Each structure stands twice: as structure tokens, then as C-alpha cells.
A and B are shown apart, each in its own frame.
Chain A
Amino acid sequence: MALQRTDVEKIAHLARLGLGEEELASTTETLNNILGLIDAMQAVDTTGIEPLAHPLEATQRLREDVVSEQNQRDAYQAIAPAVEQGLYLVPKVID
């Protein structure tokens, strides 16, 4: 199931990556090469095999409900590209 250019456009949009015309063409080809490598696994019989998400199969530890963080807005916003009145600025959000 080779990817078409339109598929790549859709994937790039989902991932919010802006690709130019040339990039689209070369990316389509490279992605298809990679998928070729990956698709080899379709031949493996995995019937009844439980997927493994975490190597150690440990369980989640729970944190006590305690406030441990102090306000560090100034330090954290010192590295922000655009802030005003303590808010991060972005182009207008339209609901």
C-alpha cells in the first residue's frame, strides 16, 4: 500500500509540518522506502500475541496529592518567544 502524494500531504498536516513542493515529492519516495522496510513485519504470525507497550510490564506508582510546585512564571517565561501580562501569545484562536 504505497503512499501517494496526497496521503503524505494529509500526514504532514496531521503532524503540522509544512512541506514545500519539492520536499513533498522526495518525502513521498523516502516514506515509501521506509514503509517497505516496515511492511516486512506483516508476514509475521502474531495471532493471539498480547501487544507489549512497556518492556518491564510494571504498574503505575501513585503520587500523594500534595502541592509541591511554587510559582516560577518569570523563570519559565524567560525562554518563551512571546508573552504579555503573564500570558503566552499565539495568533488568534477561533472557536
Chain B
Amino acid sequence: MQWETVIGLEIHAQLATQSKIFSGSATTFGADANTQASLVDLAMPGTLPVLNKTAVEMALKFGLAIDAELGMTNIFARKNYFYPDLPKGYQTSQMDDPVVGKGHLDITLEDGTVKRIGITRAHLEEDAGKSLHEDFHGMSGIDLNRAGTPLLEIVSEPDIRSAKEAVAYVKAIHALVRYLGICDGNMAEGSLRCDCNVSVRPKGQAEFGTRAEIKNVNSFRFIEKAINHEVQRQIELIEDGGKVVQETRLYDPNKDQTRSMRSKEEANDYRYFPCPDLLPVVLDPATIEQLRGELPELPPQKCARFQSAYGLSAYDASVLSASRELADYFEAVNQVCNDAKLAANWVMGELSSLLNKDNLDIEQSPVSAAQLGGMLLRIQDNTISGKIAKMVFEAMAAGEGDADQIIESKGLKQVTDSGAIESMLDDVLAANAEQVQQYRDSDEAKRGKMFGFFVGQAMRASKGKANPQQVNELLKKKLEG
């Protein structure tokens, strides 16, 4: 039987506010346990929440960016359940009237096609604390530093049809929240977390199959693996005559498998009701317009502009616009050298491999955009060849200075004086008289292959500095001569 996968994602993005959503505690990651847990975060009796303005504005920016209906009157509700990392015994969240309603996001698939993914809603809520499972005489330890950190829960429609699409969607959300400056996107620290609702159905069937929810998958690679594993598990289960049960599962990256979460097994009855300690949040249209005006250029617009203004290919434009920092870097390089294609090649080529090799973000690049742009200018004015440029780039990466300094101090300036090149070629040919004779005796086809040998010898003799074009021309003349 042919199976179709249906996926919907719930992404929790921690909003990059200074303070928590309902209290004045700091949200800094990695502080000592419970040192960022105030009276409100600890749910001390008599304490009350007051909503963080920036958290609301960040949610609205997201809503504007996905072209969503905004909840002009949005309401906080209590989701009641007992868990030790949930100090109040309820999570303050949004249910019926979220801050962001229906919207959409376009993703680019590997084959270059664009697919529109529906976003059902995005709502504000508070994060829970953490249970630490190190053994304290058979007990668990509870750290409430994270409790009350603002979250935007972004719920997609079940529009996603493969693990690869899911990854593309999460990457697009990741890029978007970073573009908007509302989330640092650090998945290792849990700033962006993903729950995957996965089901399968026979191809052509209209109804959805029973879904399982895989909780807290925290890297792009694991999202793909977890979904693929879960799809396989469900197909095998059904084909063996079994039934998928609706449940919450946990992905174990070490074993590359999902398993049922015992603690979530019992059917929950969350008893949502409007939080009586918080009043309806009524949005002011003027605030919305102001936020709209503050929105940065977003990935789709940037991608389009890179193609139209710089003549980049769709692929290059989408790679370079995938992150705001990368796009900014590329544009800064281009600002200096004024050759977008050259800049794009270097940013996506040498620079990317350098960063990948050392596992660095673009903001940590040892070569600044000004430095790279400056070096590209030297390629353009023939001071150095592309090959020499790679040496210069490596030297810049090693912190040896700007391109001009390196070219100067290492004497890498390209030789373009034809007299000097000719005398150097004469030496090369003289030292390889036997090969010269062979060349001259050979037919056209064989000569082509041998020509490269002489170029190589010549470039080595010039330590790579001779202008390759001139070397080619003059060498040809001398050999044919």
C-alpha cells in the first residue's frame, strides 16, 4: 500500500524579553537554580501576574510577519494540571482568543518549489520550570528559573507531508523569529522547541489517520529522524494489523526511536477557563501600525530583492536570505566590492566552509565583511588571482590583517609585466626542453593535454603570482612559435 504522511507542528519559541511574561524576574539562561524565581514565579500565595508589554509586541510582530488575523481582544486562560515544574498548578496560556490567529508561511523545498504552510494560530503562554533527574536520594530536583519565561506557541495546519518539509518549515520559522529579533533560536538551550504531530493514511484517503505527538524534538536533524522513525513505526504497526493510538511520545536520539511517555498517558482534562487575574488584552490599531512600520525586510522579500537587484539565482538568493545576519554580511561585502555575484560566491563558498569547519556563526566570522569586500576589490583590479585570493583569505582568517597588508607583506601581488613573464617562461621552457620537443611533435589533441603541464610549471615558477591569462597567451605563442 502507498502511504501518505501528514504532519502538523507546534513550535514553542521563547521570546527574547529581558523579564518574564508575568513577573520582573530575569530570563537569562544558565543561572544558578532558582535564583531567577521571584514570588510570582514560585506561585507564592497572594501573588498576581502583570503582563509584559514587549512579549505582546513580539507576538504581534510575528503575527504581522505571517500575514495573520490579529486577536484585537485576546484573552489569557488557565490550563489546569498538576506537575512539579508548574508551580501554580496551572499554566497561564491562551485558548479561545489567541493574540495571533490564522496566517501562513511559504517555504522553499529542495527542488526550488515554494509551498504555503497554513498557521492555525500563535498564542502567548508561560514556560514551565525544569525537573532535574540527577538522583537526590531517589528524589528529583525542581528549578523554576525557566518558569514564566514568555513563549509563543506557533501551531501549524496539518499541511506538511514529509520530514523534509517539516524541517524546511521549522527552518523558515527559525529564520523568521530571528529576523524579527523575537527569539534567539538557540535550539540547544531550548529557545526553540518543536512538538510534531504525525499520522499516516493510505494515499488518496481524505480522513486523517490517528496521530501521535512527539514531544520536544530539539534540532533540525532530530526532527527529520524522529518523524521518519515515527512514520515507519506507524506504517509497520498498521500493516501488521495494529492500530495507532493517540498518545504522546518522546524521541530518543541515542537509540533513534520514539517511545510512549508514561507520565502523559492518562487522559487529561485541563479545565481551561479565562484567567480571573488577567483582563482581556485589547490591542490598539495605532500600536499595530507602528509595529508594522518597524518590521524588518523579511526572508521572502529579501530573497526576491536579491534576485531582482543583484541578479542572483533563486538558489543563491534563498541561501543568502535564510538568516538576517548572513544577508547583512553579504550586503556589506557587496557594498565594498560592488559585484554581487563575486560576493555571493565567496560568502557561500570559502566563507561558509570556513565557518562550518570551525562551527561558527556568521556573527563570529574571523573575516569581517569589510575585509572580504576589500580582498574582492583586489581580485577585480587584477592585483591578485582567484587562487592567490584563497591564500589571502586564509591569512585574513588567521588574523594576519587586511588583504592589502597581506598581499604586500607576502609579496603576493600578481605579475602582469609581460616582459618579466616572458623571461620567466623562457626559463621554464629551457628547463623542460624534452617536454617542449614532445609537445611540438604531438597532434592537436595531445597538445591540449600537455599544455596544462607547462602552465603548472610556469605558475609554480612564479609562485602563483603571474597573471594566469597572460601566462596562457604568452606560453601558447612561445610553444607554437
B282→A90 contact, CB < 8 A: no
Q: How many A-B residue pairs have CB under 8 A?
A: 124
By a CB distance below 8 angstroms, the chain B residues around A86 are: 32-35, 143
Segment among A1-9, A25-33, A66-74 that sits at the interface with chain B: A66-74
B24→A67 contact, CB < 8 A: yes
Within 8 A of A (CB), among B2-53: 17-19, 23-26, 32-39, 42, 44, 50-53
A89 and B140 contact, Cβ closer than 8 Å, known pairs A61-B50, A63-B53: yes
In the bound assembly, the distance between CA atoms of A44 and B17 in angstroms comes to: 47
Within 8 A of B (CB), among A58-90: 58-69, 71-73, 76-77, 82, 84-90
A65→B19 contact, CB < 8 A: yes
A91 and B139 contact, Cβ closer than 8 Å, known pairs A62-B53, A69-B26, A86-B32: yes
A14→B271 contact, CB < 8 A: yes
Is B263 among interface residues, defined by CB-CB distance under 8 A? yes
In the bound assembly, the distance between CA atoms of A63 and B56 in angstroms comes to: 10
Is B240 among interface residues, defined by CB-CB distance under 8 A? no
In the bound assembly, the distance between CA atoms of A7 and B131 in angstroms comes to: 32
Is B279 among interface residues, defined by CB-CB distance under 8 A? yes
Q: Within the complex, what minimum Cβ distance (angstroms) separates B190 from chain A?
A: 15
A93 and B140 contact, Cβ closer than 8 Å, known pairs A65-B19, A85-B33: yes
Considering residues A67, A82, A84, which has the most beta carbons from chain B within 10 angstroms of its beta carbon? A67
By a CB distance below 8 angstroms, the chain A residues around B136 are: 84-85, 87, 89
Using C-beta atoms within 8 Å of the partner chain, give the interface range for chain B: 35 or more
A84 and B141 contact, Cβ closer than 8 Å, known pairs A14-B269, A65-B19, A95-B250: yes
Is B132 among interface residues, defined by CB-CB distance under 8 A? yes
Within 8 A of A (CB), among B69-88: 82, 84-85
A68 and B141 contact, Cβ closer than 8 Å, known pairs A63-B50, A93-B133, A94-B263: no
Residue of B with least CB distance to A54:
B279
By a CB distance below 8 angstroms, the chain B residues around A68 are: 19, 24
A60→B278 contact, CB < 8 A: yes
Q: Within the complex, what minimum Cβ distance (angstroms) separates B78 from chain A?
A: 12
- From B17, B142, B269, B282, A65 is in contact (CB under 8 Å) with B17
A63 and B281 contact, Cβ closer than 8 Å, known pairs A69-B26, A73-B34, A89-B136: no
Q: Within the complex, what minimum Cβ distance (angstroms) separates B142 from chain A?
A: 4
- From B37, B131, B276, B281, A76 is in contact (CB under 8 Å) with B37
Q: Within the complex, what minimum Cβ distance (angstroms) separates A32 from chain B?
A: 20
Is B122 among interface residues, defined by CB-CB distance under 8 A? no
Q: Within the complex, what minimum Cβ distance (angstroms) separates A65 from chain B?
A: 4
Is B138 among interface residues, defined by CB-CB distance under 8 A? yes
What 0/1 pattern do residues 115 to 153 of B give for CB contact below 8 A with A?
Answer: 000000000000000011100101111111000000000
Is B226 among interface residues, defined by CB-CB distance under 8 A? no
The 4 closest A-B pairs by CB, nearest first: A87-B141, A68-B24, A65-B54, A62-B53
Interface residues of A (CB under 8 A from B): 14, 16, 53-54, 58-69, 71-73, 76-77, 82, 84-95
Instruction: Report 6 cross-chain contacts, Cβ distance below 8 Å, ordered by A residue.
Output: A60-B282, A63-B50, A71-B36, A86-B33, A87-B142, A90-B140
